[in-house]
Amino acid sequence: MSQPKTVNDASTDTSGSGAARTIKIFDTTLRDGEQSPGASMNLTEKLEVAQLLAEMGVDVIEAGFPIASPGDFEAVKLIAQTVRGSTICGLARCSDQDIDRAWEAIKHAPSSRIHVFLATSAIHREFKLRMSPDEVVERAVAGVRRAVGYCDDVEFSPEDACRTEHDFLCQVVEAAIDAGATTINIPDTVGYATPREIYDRFSMLCERVPNIDKAVISTHCHDDLGMAVANSLAAVQAGAGQIECTINGIGERAGNAALEEVVMALRTRSDYYECKTNIDTKRLVPASRLVSKTTGIQVQRNKAIVGRNAFAHESGIHQDGMLKERSTYEIMSPEDVGFAKTDLVLGKHSGRAALADRAKTLGFTLTGEQLREVFEQFKALADKKKEIYDGDIIALVQQQISGLADEQWSLVDYVVTSGHRRSPQVELTLRHGEKEQTERVEQGDGPIDAAFWAVEKITGIELVCKDFRVRSATLGRDAIGEVNLEVEHKGRSYRGVGVSTDSVESTILAMLNAINRIESERAS
Ligand code: KIV
Ligand code: ZN
């Protein structure tokens, strides 16, 4: 592969520091990412994620697929009304209804984009769309034209582009640009392509589509064969000016290219790619944590850039080298991607400002109300635990973030007894609005099971537990225990998170978090 061309540059730096193209980062965590099985986020969570994406310098935020559901529409609209600094994009199929709905949702943003897509590969044309090639071109052009009628920033994606015949792909792309598309995205929808093929396909488009210079060419790679990041970088080498990606690489099936990986690859190997992005890389770890928490999808320990082990050196030889000179074994510094330098300790005497400041360093900007609530929990925790570490603060803040604004059920009190050869007993009191209700159960095969029974009895909501994970947020026997729960109710999956130094309490809080999600979905 040759060095980067300058076709379709999003922009070029001619400051004298070397011509570095600025590659646009288009984040689709809230759209393709949310399509990950079990990853749905509520309105508050989506807004929180969008705000962090904008603060970190993401150029375009694909906030959702407005026609998909009323909840999706509301989330995109709220993000368009609230989030500033990034272009807000809504996805639509090439149909009038979809495009009108997308525009309705994004029109309040100072900078907005409509993203229309239509499948172009033979396999999709024949079996899914049942359309002839001419009909596909016609529909694509009509979709782009309708979107252009609303908005001058229009992206067109020929879905399954990487399995589309070259001649036909060139024809569709040319027609879409003629119709007014300003970005042409070339998705590897099924994650089938290899880096070399991607490079050749993008080069082919740059060479053969006569009006290609009128649009930014973009890459959108899925990770089915584990090549999404490599493929995205190959596209950049062939002239792509935009990368579509998601935080932690979440997305449909095996996911999309991971934002943190493409950004750090372009930055760390700028000598090779001669490209840069607008991303504040110190926000990568906080963004990863936030997305992991809000989607319930945990980040593997050895995940590049943001995994817990990404900068951990275990072998003696490596540790020795690191002590002598960091660059012997480290190509990036942990601080550059947002790992905190110190695990600063707060305690009982730390004030609200110190807590807000620490939370900010860890990547969370709390509103007045959020800070008030987290501070209350922080004080309660400080009474139980002498030293409070970053992990504790992250757990408290993230629990607060995943709580719902209109929380219906909350914990008032509980007493649990259990023992060897004794049935567990739980006496539980919950609040719902102004009303408190207490139930006593003597059922289950342990205190956690008994807590499940008691919560179900009071709320009247039956749950099937699909996954239950407890982990300690920090070191030490007095560490906060975080429970992550996945439950099923009426065939749908819901998540819940709860934190406390007492694991039964964490469980009850996680259950209530899930139940509040069920109730809020019923209400919307
Ligand atoms: O993977 C894909 O093809 C998509 C399109 C909607 C861009 O997500
Ligand atoms: Zn996709």
Ligand 2 geometric centre to CA of 31 (Å): 9
Q: Is 125 in the pocket of ligand 1 (CB under 6 A)?
A: no
- List, in order, residues 6 or more apart from 382 with CB less than 8 Å away: 346, 347, 348, 350, 388
pLDDT at 5: 40
Taking the C-alpha atoms of residue 227 and residue 225, their distance in angstroms, rounded to an integer, is 6
The bound ligand whose nearest atom lies closest to the alpha carbon of 36 is: 2
Ligand 1, atom 2, residue with closest C-alpha: 189
For the chain, domain boundaries: 12-277, 409-523
Ligand 1, atom 8, residue with closest C-alpha: 32
The CATH fold assigned to 12-277 is TIM Barrel (3.20.20)
pLDDT at 366: 84
Taking the C-alpha atoms of residue 33 and residue 31, their distance in angstroms, rounded to an integer, is 5
- Identify which of 28, 32, 36, 65 to mutate to test ligand 1's pocket (most ligand atoms within 8 A of the CB): 32
Cβ proximity of 22 and 238 under 8 Å: no
Q: Is 187 in the pocket of ligand 1 (CB under 6 A)?
A: yes
pLDDT at 3: 46
The CATH fold assigned to 409-523 is Double Stranded RNA Binding Domain (3.30.160)
Ligand 1, atom 5, residue with closest C-alpha: 159
**370-392 mean pLDDT:** 84
**pLDDT tens-digit profile of 189-242?**
999 999 999 999 999 999 999 999 999 999 999 999 999 999 999 999 999 999
Q: Which of 329-343, 356-370, 396-410 has the lowest mean pLDDT?
A: 396-410
**pLDDT tens-digit profile of 35-46?**
887 777 889 899
pLDDT > 60? residue 15 = no
Q: Provide the residue count of the chain.
A: 524
pLDDT > 90? residue 184 = yes
**pLDDT tens-digit profile of 393-450?**
888 887 777 665 567 899 999 999 988 888 899 999 999 988 999 999 998 888 999 9
Q: How many CB atoms lie within 10 A of CB 55?
A: 18
Q: Which has the closest alpha carbon to 121: 165, 170, 173, 184?
A: 165
Eight-class DSSP state of 310: T
**138-159 mean pLDDT:** 98
Q: What is the mean pLDDT of the chain?
A: 90
Q: Which has the closest alpha carbon to 231: 178, 193, 288, 202?
A: 193
Q: Considering the chain, what percentage of its residues have pLDDT values greater than 90?
A: 63
Q: Which of 134-138, 173-177, 296-300, 517-521 has the lowest mean pLDDT?
A: 517-521
**pLDDT tens-digit profile of 262-278?**
999 999 999 999 999 99
Q: Is 156 in the pocket of ligand 1 (CB under 6 A)?
A: no
pLDDT > 90? residue 347 = no
Place 14 in a pLDDT band, splitting at 50, 70 and 90: very low
Q: Is 189 in the pocket of ligand 1 (CB under 6 A)?
A: yes
pLDDT > 70? residue 8 = no
Cβ proximity of 179 and 144 under 8 Å: yes
Tokens matching residue 329: 């074994």
pLDDT at 343: 59
